[in-house]
Structure 1
Amino acid sequence: MKYAAELWPVLSDYEKDPDYTLSKLKNIGYDGIEMFGISKFTPSELKALIAKSKLVLSGYQLPWTQFQGNQLKQTILYQKELGNKHIIIDALGGPWESGHKISENTISMWQAHAARINQINDELKENNMDLTYHTHDYDYGELIEGTVPSLEILLKNISPSVNIEIDTGNCIEGGKSPSKYIKSLKGRVPFVHCKPYAKSLQYEVRLGSDKDENNWSEIFNSAQNSGTKWLVVEPESLTLGNIFDVLDDSLKQLKTFTKD
């Protein structure tokens, strides 16, 4: 397994100075970058920018809107030129109301999302790409219509070829065990988001500290046995200092728990 940085924690820095941001992540010791959001660059420009940093593009998180109608064709064309085969849905539902409003958060809505995910997956496969769904805390812990979490609805209805990106901190926040989920989805978890979390401090906790509730050794072993390719580091702290320093410390600490 290799280590990637998620772009989200340094998004504001990246928007100001993308070249410096990516080069800084490489200098810290990351192997790859998981991109996030709609890029202001052409695919050839972004490809050159990533190549210059010597990072590998591990995958690309995109909003649900980029998978709808004719926009999906544009997304495929962009990602083809970029040279990326790993497409990630960044969210469905939640406080962002991605794909549906909070008032529409029903079992039938999630079943409709699953049907659309299967259609997207089929089209991506025709273009030699794969599809992954990124999870959030509500996917694990919020019972839709008081019965079952959204992730379970999706897993019951989507194709086994659709991957799942387990976010460890979000999983714990949702009341579940990330290592158990990774094990249960063997072969379907190419990316694991490594996010420190503590119920008392939320995301204001350092990776590997006494208060971090992630069992990193267990998570690493589960990921390794499940065929995970990338451990994607995504601290979301706002109070622990410079985010590059946090990403640096997070990578160093993670490596102490994830020795082969």
Structure 2
Amino acid sequence: MTLPIALQLWSVKEDAELDFFGTLEKVAKMGYDGVEFAGYYGKSASEIKAVLNKLGLIVAGAHVSADQILHRIDDVIAFETELGNKYIVCPWANFNSLEEWKEFAEQLQHSGKKLSEAGLSLVYHNHAHELVTVEDEYILDLLLNSIPSNLLKAEVDTYWLEFAGVDAVEYMSKYKGRTPLIHVKDMAQSKEESTEIGNGIMNIKGIVQQAKLNSVEWLIVEQEAFTKPQLVSVEIGLNNLKKILAEA
């Protein structure tokens, strides 16, 4: 069993800001199967879809701000439906109290219901701060346990789990069938930043094996710190991930 690999375009945001469509072309030539968006650089859904079709790239998902998801969900639905994307990912949220998190969960559920009615899925992407324990429960678990699985899924960011001291493979196993998207990101020896997949200390093979058990739809490469040009690094990561995937 193999899995398609997408690139989270935040990894190459400087290049995308200069030449969005040119960057997509370079990503396609590397051999990525798809992309996960982190902004559209002023382009319309129809323009982007035409370029993706030409390049043979599939939309794996899109990071859409919490503000848009909570307050402009109809606009999100219209744009993402035209683009051909079914996974709307909330990339970041942070609050100072448990009560605020619970209120956020209620709002997310409302948006998740609207997305579900439109044939789309709401997904939450974690960082490290959601792995803080409140009342004997991780904040991330609170979100996932308080919202029905058909209205909120998880995009597990394996790097941030490990950064928070949580075993990524073990955590993924808790949510089999609820993790359509997985962020694969390797950790540098310093344990302070990310690096190219395969050049760090993460158990990438174990993550890939668990991804298969979880019925994951997309492995998504992401990198946030670089010692080489961004496009060079994400190509190294892709090639290393393909080798690991073939062995897993």
Give the TM interval when normalised to the shorter protein: over 0.9
Could you tell me which of 106, 131, 137 is aligned with 1:115? 106
Give me the whole-angstrom Cα distance separating, in 2, the residues matched to 1:107 and 1:241. Answer: 40
**How many residues end up aligned between the 2 structures?**
244
- Which runs of structure 2 are paired with 1:30-179 in the superposition (5 Å)? 30-37=32-39, 39-69=41-71, 71-93=72-94, 100=95, 105-140=96-131, 142-144=132-134, 148-161=137-150, 162-179=152-169
Amino acid at match of 1:29: G
Q: Tell me what 2:219 maps to.
A: 231
Give me the whole-angstrom Cα distance separating, in 2, the residues matched to 1:38 and 1:56. Answer: 15
SS state at 2:52 partner = helix
State whether residues 20 and 41 of structure 2, in contact with CA within 8 Å, keep that contact through their aligned partners in structure 1: no
Q: Tell me what 2:14 maps to.
A: 12
Identity of counterpart residues, as a percentage?
28
Taking a change above 3 Å as real, the CA distance of residues 206 and 80 of structure 1, as seen in their structure-2 partners, is: closer
Give me the whole-angstrom Cα distance separating, in 2, the residues matched to 1:50 and 1:151. Answer: 33
Taking a change above 3 Å as real, the CA distance of residues 84 and 205 of structure 1, as seen in their structure-2 partners, is: closer
- Which runs of structure 2 are paired with 1:248-259 in the superposition (5 Å)? 248-259=235-246
Following superposition, the deviation at residue 148 of structure 1 comes to: 3.7
Following superposition, the deviation at residue 89 of structure 1 comes to: 0.7
Amino acid at match of 1:251: L
Give me the whole-angstrom Cα distance separating, in 2, the residues matched to 1:2 and 1:110. Answer: 33
Give me the whole-angstrom Cα distance separating, in 2, the residues matched to 1:147 and 1:106. Answer: 15
TM-score for both structures, normalised by structure 1: 0.89
Give me the whole-angstrom Cα distance separating, in 2, the residues matched to 1:11 and 1:48. Answer: 20
Give me the whole-angstrom Cα distance separating, in 1, the residues matched to 2:98 and 2:65. Answer: 21
Following superposition, the deviation at residue 38 of structure 1 comes to: 5.2
How big is the alpha-carbon RMSD for the aligned residues of Structure 1 and Structure 2? Answer: 1.6
State whether residues 182 and 211 of structure 2, in contact with CA within 8 Å, keep that contact through their aligned partners in structure 1: yes
Following superposition, the deviation at residue 23 of structure 1 comes to: 0.8
Give me the whole-angstrom Cα distance separating, in 1, the residues matched to 2:110 and 2:69. Answer: 10
